Structure 1
Amino acid sequence: MAELPRLVLAREHIQQGLTPKILARRCASGALVRLRQGVYVDGEAWGSLQPWDQYRLRVQAAAETFTAPTVFSRHSAASVWGIPTVGHRHPVHALTFQNDGGRSRAGVRRHYADPAGVKVFRHDGLLVTGRVRTVLDLAAFTPFAEAIVPMDHVLRPDGARNLPPLSKEQLLGEIEGNYAAAAARRITVAIEFADPQSASAGESYSRALMHVAGFETPALQHGIRDADGLIGYSDYYWDSARIVGEFDGMEKYMKPEYLRGRTPSQAVVDEKYREDRIRAAGPTVVRWVWADLTMPGRLERKLAAAGVPRRRTRSAR
């Protein structure tokens, strides 16, 4: 996780002569970026952050402007826990315990929750819903394909944050009494589909989009072999069509745990050699990247062109 830059709070700098005019000039020049009224961040540091870290900093900035204790939820709680979600232009989400329909103001969307059903945690200096409630809320109130990304993640140990995996039984056990029947059904479907073998957010999102598009469920982390032995493990494999699917996320070429001492250029060469071996062994290989997931229908067209089989309809069985 990247170390977030320190926020510049106007209320702390007034005594140092940092007037509103000076702050405005620095924002105009790009030296500062205004996150919320009275909350700024160094412009260069902001520009170096990944979008998900920028969103996390917006959550922190919101917390600095609230006078009353606030419990963050949904995408905002997920960002604090380090749980990946799809998209980065979400509003800040927080709970309200007053049953007046919730309120949205100044980029903060508030959602009513019965306090009896909410376990509040202090994590990274902020009050947030727990990991269980956070992913259940996302499953209840975001599209299925997006909900699978955080759901898969919490079923795996989070080594970077030393957090243990959650079980499907834990997740299912927290549904009753906290959600309406329709939301409970959406959550249950997401939990049943979730699979900890998806090793990244991109792999999870890809798998969910495949399911929504009607493709057969692939095997995950399938071992591919040739005469020389094990070539490696594919992200997806359709045995009936002998097709290997590979999601190319930047983690494979950037993060130390994937590089294992190699340079990024060496990782690219190794991946090309691995793919050549797989093709020589017989399977068709189809690859895609994040851009293919964010353009509606693009992944579906790629898989269909490669011959990935579709699920049969009930009437064809």
Structure 2
Amino acid sequence: MDTNALILSSDYARLGKDSRELARKCAAGELRRIRHGVYVSEAVWRDLKPWDRYPLLILATATTLRTRSVFCLESAAALWRIPLLGAQKVVHACTDDPAGGRSKPGISRHRISASGSEICERTGLLVTSRERTVLDLGALRPFEHAVIAFDHVLKPDAVTGLPPLDKDSLKLMASERYSAAAARRIGTALDFADPNSGSPGESLSRAYMFLGGFPIPLLQRGVVDRKGFVAYLDFEWGAERIAGEFDGLVKYQKPEFLRGRTPSEVVIAEKKREDRIRATGRRVVRWTWAELRDAETFAAFLIAEGVPRLPLRATIPGVRARKGQPPSGAG
């Protein structure tokens, strides 16, 4: 996060400059106002990925607050680089005010009591710890949001280098810090979480499968043919010989997936890979973010593709799925 990208009207005033110049540049399309009195170059903002815009928005919000705040929920998750479902526009901060504190446009205050080891500094800002952050998401957000977060933190973070969190330790913390109902919600998502999930899109797919009453497939199963190793499958329903593949499209855009290849070369390689999978007798079912718009849309897609439903649909008391959007920060 480039903290130098922010332009503060208060800095202009201290330097004896006319802060109205910022408004003029904003009107001319040179700057974008992302918080009251906080601007960023329009070109810089345009070039930022959605998952990089939100941390900058959090920092911009921090500069407008009179006291140093502890950021929580989605805001803390973003600063820990934990993927989130959908574009984020509201910044979340803790308060110990029994009434919930004062929220205002763009910032939501939550009565979350965090202290000591549950508060960390991240990129110069105070945030709830990784453990507290994902548990809060599990307690306060829909099941599918929690699954995305838990799947991510249960494995080593390749971007930040942070180690995986321990599932049993998280369950113990949930039992000690949350109400019985919240601990049950957390436990349901934690029991379902799987570090073998390859991406947030795969995590969301699995959560929607559960909510839709579908059998949960095996993850990252290796496929071999007479020539040798073919691929690891995102999902496999073994009895039905169905291979499920989520295509988040990042493999056609991000350098770490392209690995020196052009997008067209990646498309050709994917086609050859899929042909070899089909040759093993498996049927390949592919989907993208369009099919993951919400749980009902995805269920209809899987049914149309011949994926069987379980006789009794699994449900989570008190938790309903919400419309899905591509997680910020992942494919």
Same-fold call, TM cutoff 0.5:
yes
- The one-letter code sitting in structure 1 at the alignment partner of 2:165 is L
Moved more, 68-77 or 157-166: 157-166
The 5-angstrom pairing of residues 216-235 of structure 1 reads: 216-235=215-234
1:269 equivalent in alignment to 2:268 = yes
1:98 equivalent in alignment to 2:97 = yes
Partners of 1:17 and 1:107 in 2: CA distance: 29
Partners of 2:305 and 2:17 in 1: CA distance: 60
The 5-angstrom pairing of residues 1-317 of structure 1 reads: 6-115=5-114, 119-295=118-294, 297-313=296-312
**1:259-290, Cα deviation, whole Å (9 max, x unpaired):** 33333221111001101111122111111111
Structure 2 residues not aligned, in runs of 5+: 314-331
* Percent sequence identity over aligned pairs: 49
Partners of 1:290 and 1:302 in 2: CA distance: 12
Partners of 2:255 and 2:32 in 1: CA distance: 31
Partners of 2:281 and 2:141 in 1: CA distance: 39
> Do the aligned partners of 2:144 and 2:207 also contact (CA within 8 Å) in 1?
yes
SS of 1:286's partner is strand
Partners of 1:3 and 1:72 in 2: CA distance: 18
**1:106-151, Cα deviation, whole Å (9 max, x unpaired):** 2111111234587100011110000000001111111101211111
Shift of 1:254: 2.7
Partners of 1:38 and 1:90 in 2: CA distance: 17
SS of 1:270's partner is helix
Partners of 1:169 and 1:43 in 2: CA distance: 45
Partners of 2:220 and 2:4 in 1: CA distance: 37
SS of 1:297's partner is helix
Shift of 1:295: 4.7
Structure 1 pair 293/18, CA: closer, same or farther in 2 (3 Å)?
farther
Partners of 1:243 and 1:229 in 2: CA distance: 20
Normalising by structure 2, report the TM-score: 0.89
Shift of 1:62: 0.8
Structure 1 pair 100/295, CA: closer, same or farther in 2 (3 Å)?
closer
> Do the aligned partners of 1:4 and 1:53 also contact (CA within 8 Å) in 2?
no
- The one-letter code sitting in structure 2 at the alignment partner of 1:169 is D
Q: Which has the higher contact order (CA 8 A, sep 6+)?
A: 2
Partners of 1:299 and 1:117 in 2: CA distance: 42
SS of 1:244's partner is strand
Partners of 2:27 and 2:16 in 1: CA distance: 18
Shift of 1:78: 0.5
- The one-letter code sitting in structure 1 at the alignment partner of 2:208 is L
Moved more, 16-25 or 195-204: 16-25
Structure 1 pair 18/248, CA: closer, same or farther in 2 (3 Å)?
farther
SS of 1:93's partner is strand
> Do the aligned partners of 2:208 and 2:295 also contact (CA within 8 Å) in 1?
no
> Do the aligned partners of 2:119 and 2:128 also contact (CA within 8 Å) in 1?
yes
Moved more, 126-135 or 217-226: 217-226
Moved more, 77-86 or 109-118: 109-118
> Do the aligned partners of 2:94 and 2:113 also contact (CA within 8 Å) in 1?
no
Structure 1 pair 34/307, CA: closer, same or farther in 2 (3 Å)?
same
Normalising by structure 1, report the TM-score: 0.93
